[in-house]
Structure 1
Amino acid sequence: MVEPGIHFLDARGPDGVRLYAIGDVHGRLDLLAAMHGQIEAEIARDLVADWRIIHLGDYVDRGPDSKGVIDFLIEARERDQRNMMLAGNHDLGFLDFLETPDPEGLFIRFGGIQTAQSYGVTINNGSGIWFGKAESAMRKGHQALLAAVPQSHIDFLRSLPFSVTSGDFFFCHAGIRPGIALEKQNIQDLIWIRDVFHDHTGLLQKIVVHGHTPVPEAEVMANRVNVDTLAWQSGKLTALVVDGADKRILEMSIKEP
C-alpha cells in the first residue's frame, strides 16, 4: 500500500537538522570544494545544531578532476559521517569498466576518457583505429587505469548506497518509479529512470530530490526537485537546502576562463 502523497510546499525536514542535497558533480572539484566552503560558512554563521550534506551521485566522468572529487569525498566522509554520498550511474559505470572494459559501455562513451586522464592514464576509445588495434589499445589503457586507481577509491564507490530518506524527503540519483513504495524501488530505476518519473504529476510518498537529467536551473515541482545543472559544462553546481519548513536553492558558479 503506497502512502498518501505530500506537496513540496508542505514538506518539512527533520526537526533540528538542516539538509543540503548537492547535484551531479562530474569531476568539478573546484565547484564541489567551493560549495562545501559556502555550506560550512552558513553552518557556522547560523549556529546550525545538526546537519547532513547529501551528494546525489555522478562524481566522475566528463569534468577534469574525477580523482580529486573522490579524494575530497572520501576525506569528507571520514572527517564527519554527516557528509553522505549516494551512487550515480556514472559511478557504477566506472566500476563496471574497471571490472570489464567495454568499448561501447557508459564509461568510454560518456566521459570516462576524462576520468582516466585525472588518474594520469590515456585511454584511446578506438576512434580512427582499425578493429584489432582498437581492442589492444583498450586493454592497455584498462590495465594502466587499474594500476592507477587506488583501492580506497574502488572501496568508496562500492560502498555507496542508492537512496536515503530524511523528513519528508527521499534522496536518490535519478528518481523513482511512481506507484511503487519507496522501500521497494528497483536499483536500476534509482540511478537511471527519466521519462516515466518526470512525466508523473501526482504527489508521491516523499518529495524526491534527484539529479541525473540536466536542467538549466534547479527544477522545483510539486512532487520532486531536480538539482542537476550540468556542473561540468555550465560551471554551476546546485543544491537544495531544507531547514524545517524552509526550502531554498543554493548555487555555486565558477565561470570558465
Structure 2
Amino acid sequence: MDVMHLARWEASRVYAVGDIHGRLDLLDAIEGMIAADIAASCTDEPLICYLGDYIDRGPHSAQVIDRLCILSRDGAKRVFLKGNHEDRMLDFLDAPATNGPSWLKFGGREALESYGIAVSVEPGDSDWTNLRDRLDGVLPDTHRDFLTSLDLGIHWQGYFLVHAGLNPERAVSDQMERDLMWIREPFLSSEEDWGFKVVHGHVITEEPVFRTNRIGIDTGAYQSGRLTCLVLEGGAQRVIQTG
C-alpha cells in the first residue's frame, strides 16, 4: 500500500483524539473540551480525527460506537481511523475459533459485556461459534457499518495520522495494512525521515511523546482517566487532556 495515496484533508486546525478503549465518559468529556476550544478561537473548518481503538478494556465499547455514529452525522468534519482492536473484533466475527482467545485476552470480554453478552469462563473450542453468533445477533447494523468503513490513515499538511505507525523497513509506497494498525517496533525506535511527521496512538505512555518524526498520544485512557487530544494548527502543537 502506498500511504501517500490515502486521503488528504483540508482544514484550518486538526484535533487528533487518542485511544478511547470503551470509556464513554472520557469521550464525552474530550468532545466538550474540543467544542469549547473551537468556540473560544472561532476556528473555521476544524477537523476532528479519531486514531482508533474505540473498543475493548473499558466498560462501554458498544456505547462509544453508538456515540461516534451519532457524531459522524452532526455535520462537523470528522474522520475515524481503524485500530488494532477494531481489526481484532472483525477478525473474531469472521473466524471466531481462531481469533476469539486472543480477543478475549486483550479486552474482548469487556466489549462483549457492553453488548449484554456475559462470558464467565474461557469458552471451549465448540463455544466460539456460538459466542460469535450471539454477538452477530445483537450487533446493530450501524455498528457493523461503522467498523467496516474505518479509514487506515490520512494526511494533513506535514502530518500523517494513523493508529499504530509505519514500518521503516519498507518504503512509504510499500506499507502493509496490518502495520498501520499493529506495528510497535521497529517503528517506535526509528529515526526515519518520512517526509512528514506521524501522529499515532496504540502504545501507552504516561505523557504524549514528541519526537522529530512522530508524536504518540495514547495515554492509557481506560486505566489512567487521561484521554489525550493533540491540536495541530500550522506549525503549532498543543495538547488537551481529560483528567
**TM-score (structure 2 length as normaliser):** 0.90
Which amino acid in 2 is paired with 1:110?
F
> Is the contact between residue 215 and residue 230 of structure 1 (CA under 8 Å) also seen in structure 2?
yes
Match status 1:197 vs 2:193: no
The aligned residue for residue 211 of structure 1 is 201
Paired amino acid for 1:61? D
Alpha-carbon distance in 2 for matches of 1:16, 1:112 = 35
3-state SS in 1 of match to 2:122: coil
Task: Name the larger-Rg structure.
Answer: 1
Deviation at 1:32, TM superposition (A): 0.8
CA distance in 2: counterparts of 1:173 and 1:41, whole angstroms:
25
**Which residue is equivalent to 2:114?**
118
Answering whether residue 33 of structure 2 is matched by residue 35 of structure 1, we say no
Which of 223, 232, 241 pairs up with 1:233? 223
1:105–1:168 CA distance, 2 compared to 1 (3 A): farther
Q: Does the alignment pair 1:84 with 2:69?
A: no
Q: Distance in 1 between matches of 2:156 and 2:89?
A: 28
When residues 251 and 105 of structure 1 are mapped into structure 2, their CA distance, relative to the original with a 3 A threshold, is same
Residue 104 of structure 1 deviates from its aligned partner by 5.2
Aligned residue-pair number: 235
Question: Does the CA contact (< 8 Å) of 2:33 and 2:240 recur in 1?
Answer: no
- In the other structure, the counterpart of 1:94 is 89
Task: Please identify runs of 4+ aligned residues in structure 1 that moved more than 6 A.
Answer: none
* Structure 2 SS opposite 1:40: helix
Q: Tell me, yes or no, if the aligned pair for 1:18 and 1:52 is still in contact at 8 Å.
A: yes
Q: CA RMSD in A?
A: 1.9
Q: Deviations over 1:2-45 (max 9, x none)?
A: 9xxxxxxxxxxx88611011111110111011001100011011
In 2: Cα distance, 1:180 partner to 1:88 partner: 20
The offset of 1:154, in angstroms, is 0.9
Unaligned runs of at least 5 residues, structure 1: 3-13, 128-133
Q: Is the Cα contact below 8 Å between 1:216 and 1:230 reproduced in 2?
A: yes
Secondary structure of 2:227 counterpart: strand
Please say which of residues 243-252 and 209-218 is displaced more in the overlay.
243-252
Tell whether the 8 Å contact from 1:95 to 1:154 is kept in structure 2 after alignment. Answer: no
1: CA distance, partners of 2:122 / 2:222: 24
Using the TM superposition, give the Cα deviation of residue 189 of structure 1 relative to its aligned residue in structure 2, in angstroms: 0.8
